[in-house]
Homo-oligomer: A and B are copies of this chain.
Amino acid sequence: MGQETIYFGRFISTPKPEELLIRTGAVLVNKKNGRGVIERADWTVNGPNDAISKFGVEAPVVTTKENGFFFPGFIDTHIHASQYPNVGIFGKSTLLDWLTTYTFPLESSLGNTNSPMYKDATEPPNPLARAKAVYNRIISRTLANGTTTASYYATIHLDATNLLADLAFDKGQRAYIGRVCMDRPETCPDYYRDESSEETLTNTKASIEYCRSLDPSGELLAHIITPRFAPSCLSETLSKLGSLAKEEDIRVQTHISENLNEVQLVKELFPDQATYTDVYDHHGLLTPRTILAHAVHLSQEEMRLIKERKTKVSHCPASNSALGSGFCPVRVMLDEGVEVGLGTDVSGGYSPSILDAVRNACIVSRHVGFINGGDSRYNLGVAEGLWLATVGGAKVVGMEGRLGGFEEGMLWDVQEIIMGDVSSSGDGEETGVDIFGWEQWDDRVAKWVWNGDDRNVQRVWVGGRLVHERRS
């Protein structure tokens, strides 16, 4: 007993891309086996006592505030945990010089005492202590922003990557942990790469085992095979990682077609493959469990191959804009039947918030429309942005039907959103979302999407466990 909790109040979700479903009622969550699943949902319940009576269960009732609602937790399908300290630091760089100027120095500092970041250090470097601070902080910040599931890139370092797994598991975030694979000498700096294809495979396998030792079920925590991107890996490494993914039936994440210079580099490094997508397909990495980040400059043919392979795409609009990579045509991909979710892509993306990614996805979609003769068909609305952040993300991480909604059988990975009330004299709380009182609920949701931040996230649960509560 004591494993059941009732949640009562307003529930908002996006079962379909254009549908903002707003319901009041209650759900009964059962944490037996530690999994926190919605056992029953009842949309006729009109109060806490009614819930207890209708469910026939004497369980504690968690109620949303008048100006609040439950919303499915966000799914960040692409985030570099190791790059968090660099959010906002990118100057006027684009992808390839951004990597060498900002990214490799920072990532290496989480494992290498010879990292360029320690060049002028006055104290002896302690990479693992730095990793701990960075990983602790990014997990806390993403949870505070309502991210219940994250697909993380770590670094090449096994010990620091295992530490990320420890911390995510301890804090209770649903997480896929990627130890970064990069071993191609022409493209990786000497101070930051695997020494050989063997080292790449050995450390990847060790990380897989470590994640399994923490969570044998793999439901809350699992390794995700992570070739950084095609140019950074030897061809034999890509093949071995493809085989490993198949043998172990394990997720894969990588980047694709983010930047035109990168696409050109791939052409030069892999002359035998016709396209960037073919490179991954050739090496057995275009699987139904593969997440491809960016996909800005894909041809129609590449999209079709991705769809055929049931491979997933992580759309990272803030990053694509910040690094001047281009406009990802999300509407075209959705129309093609490609499954798309959202990623913050910290720190190419400057924000750890998926709500910010929703905003940027909506904005970029209007730009896509604008460069296509002002065609508003390309526009993503608020409901579609939220759908990408929840249901879309669930498909991308292979959790379709288990995450992203309030139906019976789904996991209780949920955020409680509260907004600010403005009084009749114009006073109000200091959140970014001001509700005057006359707004319809769909407009309130729009106001939250466009001006919300972590102050609007009151509580966050993963698998029924309370993993964040906002300090009042």
Please list the residues of chain A having a beta carbon within 8 angstroms of any beta carbon in chain B: 84-85, 87-92, 94, 117, 129, 132-137, 140-141, 144, 260, 321-327, 350-351, 359, 362-363, 366-367, 369-371, 374, 376, 379, 381-382, 422-428, 430, 432, 434, 436, 438-439, 443, 446-451, 453-455, 470-471
Kindly state the separation between the CA atoms of A216 and B3 in the bound complex, as whole angstroms.
Answer: 69
Kindly state the separation between the CA atoms of A133 and B428 in the bound complex, as whole angstroms.
Answer: 10
Best-buried of A91, A92, A362, A381 by chain B (most CB within 10 Å): A92
**Pairs A-B, 7 closest by C-beta atoms:** A136-B426, A88-B450, A350-B450, A324-B366, A133-B426, A137-B426, A88-B447
Q: Which of B133, B324, B369, B376 contacts A436 (CB 8 A)?
A: B133
- Copies of this chain, tallied across the complex: 2
Hey, which chain B residues are within 8 Å of A85, CB to CB?
434, 436, 438-439
Q: Which of B321, B434, B453 contacts A141 (CB 8 A)?
A: B434
* Closest residue on chain B to residue A84 by CB atoms: B434
Hey, which chain B residues are within 8 Å of A470, CB to CB?
430
Contact assessment for B322 and A363 in the assembled complex, using a CB-CB cutoff below 8 Å: yes
Q: Which of B324, B369, B443 contacts A374 (CB 8 A)?
A: B324
Hey, which chain B residues are within 8 Å of A89, CB to CB?
439, 443, 446-447
* Closest residue on chain B to residue A317 by CB atoms: B363
Hey, which chain B residues are within 8 Å of A370, CB to CB?
324-327
Q: Which of B129, B351, B425, B443 contacts A424 (CB 8 A)?
A: B129
Contact assessment for A87 and B321 in the assembled complex, using a CB-CB cutoff below 8 Å: no
Hey, which chain B residues are within 8 Å of A134, CB to CB?
426, 436
In the complex with contacts A85-B436, A89-B446, A434-B85, A451-B326 CB distance below 8 A: no
Hey, which chain B residues are within 8 Å of A369, CB to CB?
324
Best-buried of A369, A370, A426 by chain B (most CB within 10 Å): A426
In the complex with contacts A92-B381, A426-B135, A428-B137, A87-B324 CB distance below 8 A: no
In the complex with contacts A92-B381, A447-B87, A136-B453 CB distance below 8 A: no
Hey, which chain B residues are within 8 Å of A90, CB to CB?
446
Hey, which chain B residues are within 8 Å of A132, CB to CB?
425-426
Kindly state the separation between the CA atoms of A422 and B85 in the bound complex, as whole angstroms.
Answer: 10
- Given contacts A88-B450, A88-B451, A322-B363, list 10 more A-B pairs with CB under 8 A: A87-B450, A91-B381, A91-B382, A91-B446, A129-B424, A133-B424, A133-B425, A137-B434, A324-B379, A351-B432
Contact assessment for B137 and A422 in the assembled complex, using a CB-CB cutoff below 8 Å: yes
10 residue pairs A–B, Cβ–Cβ below 8 Å: A85-B434, A85-B438, A89-B443, A133-B425, A135-B426, A137-B422, A137-B426, A321-B366, A324-B370, A350-B451
Hey, which chain B residues are within 8 Å of A87, CB to CB?
434, 447, 450-451
Separation in Å of the A423 CB from the closest CB of chain B? 7
* Closest residue on chain B to residue A351 by CB atoms: B451
Separation in Å of the A195 CB from the closest CB of chain B? 27
Kindly state the separation between the CA atoms of A325 and B133 in the bound complex, as whole angstroms.
Answer: 43
Hey, which chain B residues are within 8 Å of A326, CB to CB?
370
* Closest residue on chain B to residue A432 by CB atoms: B453
Separation in Å of the A147 CB from the closest CB of chain B? 14
Hey, which chain B residues are within 8 Å of A449, CB to CB?
88
Hey, which chain B residues are within 8 Å of A117, CB to CB?
438
Kindly state the separation between the CA atoms of A424 and B135 in the bound complex, as whole angstroms.
Answer: 11
Hey, which chain B residues are within 8 Å of A135, CB to CB?
426
Contact assessment for A88 and B322 in the assembled complex, using a CB-CB cutoff below 8 Å: no
Q: Which of B92, B137, B140, B451 contacts A379 (CB 8 A)?
A: B92
* Closest residue on chain B to residue A318 by CB atoms: B363
* Closest residue on chain B to residue A92 by CB atoms: B379
Contact assessment for A136 and B432 in the assembled complex, using a CB-CB cutoff below 8 Å: no
Hey, which chain B residues are within 8 Å of A260, CB to CB?
374
Kindly state the separation between the CA atoms of A265 and B245 in the bound complex, as whole angstroms.
Answer: 58
Hey, which chain B residues are within 8 Å of A425, CB to CB?
132-133, 136
Hey, which chain B residues are within 8 Å of A136, CB to CB?
425-427
Kindly state the separation between the CA atoms of A395 and B132 in the bound complex, as whole angstroms.
Answer: 47
Kindly state the separation between the CA atoms of A109 and B380 in the bound complex, as whole angstroms.
Answer: 29
Hey, which chain B residues are within 8 Å of A351, CB to CB?
432, 450-451
Kindly state the separation between the CA atoms of A454 and B141 in the bound complex, as whole angstroms.
Answer: 17
Best-buried of A322, A324, A382, A438 by chain B (most CB within 10 Å): A324
* Closest residue on chain B to residue A366 by CB atoms: B324
